[in-house]
Chains A and B, each alone.
Chain A
């Protein structure tokens, strides 16, 4: 992979060049105690010392609330205005390698069979400039789910903070090259051959063996007591899905007044009891244990069988922010060990 060097102090100049060329830049910013992705214009606006952002950058390509349709009432008539999606080319800067990988998971959902024009248009206009992890916390488990703190998968450019004032830049895709081409003078050739970035990367221990987890899941499926115990603390609040960079489930709702209205979609979660509730009162998943099982099975078994990838990137957000201190990696570890 082609390598370059970028002075940290040059990131401001890069942002200015991109902004001049019409790009929108989204980066991690402090918001109270949280770190969230916001529009930024200069590097000083961004948080510098985060292990992981509180919210993932998912909403750039899959907004929390997104219009699908507008309509107007004219007497007894209804006029549908097709919702035209126009997207400004956007750079997401400073996301972690796990989040960069999550976009492929979302894309798998929105582009198998029927094509979701809203998601695809946003994704096609998004360039991913990832910053490798030099620190981690006990919730991180990317290395257990085929990722890593310097993994280039899903990134267009991968920046690794190589020393106090320089990033090692890896040009992963043509889209990444297009960013370099906006300001080639800022990206110096890496002198003296291939730079080995491994020594600066965070050490993220492997928590469980993925192949064993995948193998044991169908077998544990019918052990209701096992799932009930794992989910005992679960409040069914849905925060894990809200924070998950790879969760794509959504609801569709209408809002209207006498003149007209909109149909929109918004994030939803299989952990919420209303998710599958029929109007008749019948609910295919009545207990939180069954809903927890669905979350795990969907991410690590069904998704893989169906779309060829697991739907977890090991970012740890679901566990870091769980109000009941559920820990996905611990639960997966327990699951993988049941196969022994």
Chain B
């Protein structure tokens, strides 16, 4: 062999499964080879290929923070063949993992800045990685504001962590559900994410906004941020193109001259504005 097989996954054991919301689970994964686990490094924003042997692989971000070592976590919704097979796994089962792949959120460059996290539904996981990364290095950053919405109260993910963030004095958390998705004892906001962002009106001064969510949420949130004077290079998101290899070969995630798997998944709005709208 002149080089290692780039398609060979790490063998990971599912240490813990958390039911987050209907159809949505979080897996905590540990390396079966302890040395591989010790050598493994990643940064906020990177992703991997999670594989069920016999079914195939699928692509998710690493949802845990690089500051929490010894394991990685992924959160996924059961939707297709591989995610359905994943959802059938039990604690102790083995799955494959290839990664970390892709670029990262430039959080080292954000020291001293105010961070505004805006997420919808199942798109909180990539931001959760950054949120914990920032909270674990809290004094390096300015204000941390999180606006998170889902269709219904039941659909909110990381419910325990939302509570934890709410209780902290150094995070401003606003949760919201779509009109009609509230329960009688719901104390959060009711309304779509873009509306809530407009109401909160975070200042663009010395700030960075991270926006992840369904395409419609992103589409309607961007004009709100523009109105608040956020420039395209102050706004970050992650693209979720379909991928197979994750390493810039299979061609599937090609958009313009970029490969989402190599040049992304993290892009600024300024970069996206230069891309064909094929994502």
Contacts and interface: CB of A to CB of B under 8 A. Distances in A.
Nearest to A285: B278
Contact of A261 (B2, B11, B53, B250): B53
Nearest to B94: A78
B90 to A, nearest CB: 9
Contacts of A268: 250-252
Contacts of A255: 54
B245 A76 contact: no
Interface in B140-185: none
A134 interface: no
A280 B216 CA distance: 14
B53 A73 contact: yes
Contacts of B187: none
Contact of B248 (A80, A114, A121, A285): A114
B256 interface: yes
Interface in A68-102: 68-69, 71, 73, 76-78, 80, 82-85
B7 A68 contact: yes
A303 B254 CA distance: 10
Given A268-B250, A276-B252, A278-B242, A254 B53 contact: yes
Contacts of B52: 254
A118 B247 CA distance: 14
Interface residues of A, number: 56
A114 B252 contact: no
Contacts, number: 131
Interface string B1-17: 11111111101000000
A29 to B, nearest CB: 30
Contact of A114 (B6, B79, B241, B255): B6
Nearest to B279: A284
A110 B2 CA distance: 14
Interface string B75-96: 0000110010000000011101
Contacts of B96: 78, 80
A284 to B, nearest CB: 4
A252 B56 contact: yes
Nearest to B85: A254
Given A73-B53, A221-B276, A80 B247 contact: no
B241 A117 contact: no
Nearest to A118: B5
A253 B83 CA distance: 14
Interface in B18-74: 51-57
Contacts of A279: 79-80, 83
A313 interface: no
Contacts of B215: 282
Given A254-B54, A256-B53, A282-B215, A117 B4 contact: yes
Given A256-B53, A279-B79, A114 B279 contact: no
Contacts of A251: 244, 250
Contacts of A265: 7, 250
A69 B248 contact: no
B258 to A, nearest CB: 8
Contacts of A306: 257
Contact of B249 (A77, A83, A250, A284): A250
Contacts of B244: 250-252
A78 B53 contact: yes
Contacts of B242: 275-278
A84 B9 CA distance: 15
Contacts of B251: 109, 248-250, 268, 270, 298
A153 interface: no
A117 B6 contact: yes
Contact of A82 (B8, B92, B250, B276): B8
Given A110-B249, A276-B252, A302-B254, A117 B5 contact: yes
A227 to B, nearest CB: 12
Nearest to A269: B251
B240 interface: yes
B113 interface: no
28 contacts: A69-B8, A83-B5, A85-B1, A112-B248, A113-B262, A115-B3, A117-B1, A117-B4, A117-B5, A121-B1, A249-B251, A250-B244, A250-B245, A250-B250, A251-B244, A251-B250, A252-B57, A254-B55, A254-B57, A256-B54, A263-B57, A265-B250, A270-B254, A276-B241, A282-B215, A294-B254, A297-B256, A301-B257
The 7 closest A-B pairs by CB, nearest first: A256-B54, A249-B251, A279-B80, A114-B247, A68-B7, A284-B278, A279-B79
Interface of A: 68-69, 71, 73, 76-78, 80, 82-85, 109-110, 112-118, 120-121, 124, 221, 248-256, 261, 263, 265, 268, 270, 275-280, 282, 284-285, 290, 294, 297-298, 301-302, 305-306
Given A252-B57, A261-B53, 9 more contacts: A68-B5, A76-B92, A110-B249, A112-B248, A117-B5, A117-B6, A121-B1, A254-B53, A301-B257
